[in-house]
Structure 1
Amino acid sequence: MDVPDLIPVCHEPGYRTDTIGHWQGGQFFASIVRLGSRYRAILHRFDAAGRHLDARVRCTEDLGEAERLLAEWLDALPGREYGDIAIAPFSVHVDGELYGLVREDYEPDEVDEEDGEGARVHFELYPDCLGFNAPWDGCYDT
């Protein structure tokens, strides 16, 4: 199966992709991730074609503060609507941490070989730890 240029991500209310969708300027992916004892409020904005525009990241020790920040950022997106998105791979570093949708190829001995195919392509969203694979239907693994 061909690897798409844009990786679909399904909107799942109440789950890890609850705060993704479209806004007047394109698409967005927002989340709160705990790394160690600190929380990161994260907002990635993409253009309408799925290309990464920018990342907004703020660290805090308080989950409530991270939730407040994320709500504020989301409220500031004009025309915001939650829903499925499709985004191109990207990577940025903020304070030495990787944020992005990164391609990772696995050799045949590292994957299930029941269909007889060779190396597999996988995209991992960092630091959210969401994995995307064929059949590229927008579903993710954790």
Structure 2
Amino acid sequence: MSVPEVIPIAYEPGYRTDTIGRCRGGQFFASVTYAVPEAAEGRAEQADRRCFAVLHRFDEAGRHLGSRIEAVPGVFGGEAVTAAEALLRRWLDALPEREFGDIAIAPFAVRTEGCRFGLVVERHGEGAEQDDWAEFYPDGLGFSAPWDGDYDT
């Protein structure tokens, strides 16, 4: 089954998609995540990992409107995560009429500080002849048929 133009993502309270939903003017996907610059992939040291607060915005139809992505200072681990979570909470609190819940968005990609962020369509599995997978980078969430919003990690 090929990748749909708009991919559903299920809201899962207390887990990896607990900061997605809708607000006035559209939808959002927010997260605290680690990323490694693409130039360092495969040889990256722990020190190459950066912690980011991320807020992607989409219109009602799921088209990407823009992203707010900010690396937070601190070493890998608690300090950085705490700072990123506080920043993300401020961004989320500023969204008008915010409601957490399921979303459906179109694939997109942006680059910040040499890192890829977005929902990227791919071929997954050996011998795949057509695009059949969408991966949310750098969060590591994979979506595939039956395209019901559930993901693999």
Q: Taking every aligned residue pair, what percent have the same amino acid on both sides?
A: 56
The structure whose RCO (Cα within 8 Å, separation 6+) is larger is 2
CA shift in 2, pair 1:65/1:137, >3 Å: same
Contact 1:108-1:120 at 8 Å conserved across structures: no
Equivalenced residue count is 135
Q: Which amino acid aligns with 1:30?
A: A
8 A contact 1:33–1:127 mirrored in 2:
yes
Mapped contact 2:3–2:134 kept (Cα < 8 A): no
TM norm structure 2: 0.82
* AA partner of residue 123 (structure 2): D
Structure-to-structure mapping, 1:61-72, within 5 angstroms:
61=74, 62-72=80-90
Is 100-109 or 54-63 further displaced after alignment?
100-109
Deviates more, 1:66-75 or 1:99-108: 99-108
Cα separation, 1, equivalents of 2:19 and 2:10 = 11
CA RMSD after TM alignment: 1.6
| Pairs within 5 Å for 1:49-88 | 49-60=61-72, 61=74, 62-88=80-106
Name which of 104, 118, 122 aligns with 2:133: 122
Counterpart position of 2:5 = 5
Once residues 78 and 7 of structure 1 are traced to their aligned partners in structure 2, the CA distance between those partners, rounded to angstroms, is: 24
Higher strand share: 1
Q: Please give the secondary structure, in 2, of the residue aligned with 1:93.
A: strand
Consecutive unaligned residues in structure 2, runs of 5 or more: 36-45, 75-79
Q: CA deviation at 1:105?
A: 1.5
Distance 1:108 1:64 in 2: 39
Q: Does 1:94 align with 2:105?
A: no
Distance 2:125 2:148 in 1: 22
Provide the secondary structure at the position in 2 that maps to 1:99: strand
What does the per-residue CA deviation read over 1:35-64, in whole Å, with 9 as the maximum and x for residues that have no partner?
344311000000111000111111112211
| 2:18 paired with 1:18 | yes
Preserved contact between residue 43 and residue 70 of structure 1 (Cα < 8 Å): yes
Q: Which runs of 4+ in 1 moved over 6 A?
A: none
- Separation (CA, whole Å) in 1 of partners of 2:135 and 2:65: 19
Q: Which amino acid aligns with 2:103?
A: I
Quick one: distance in 2 between partners of 1:63 and 1:138?
Answer: 26
Work out the CA distance in 2 between the residues paired with 1:10 and 1:131: 12
What residue ranges of structure 1 are gaps of 5+ in the alignment?
111-117
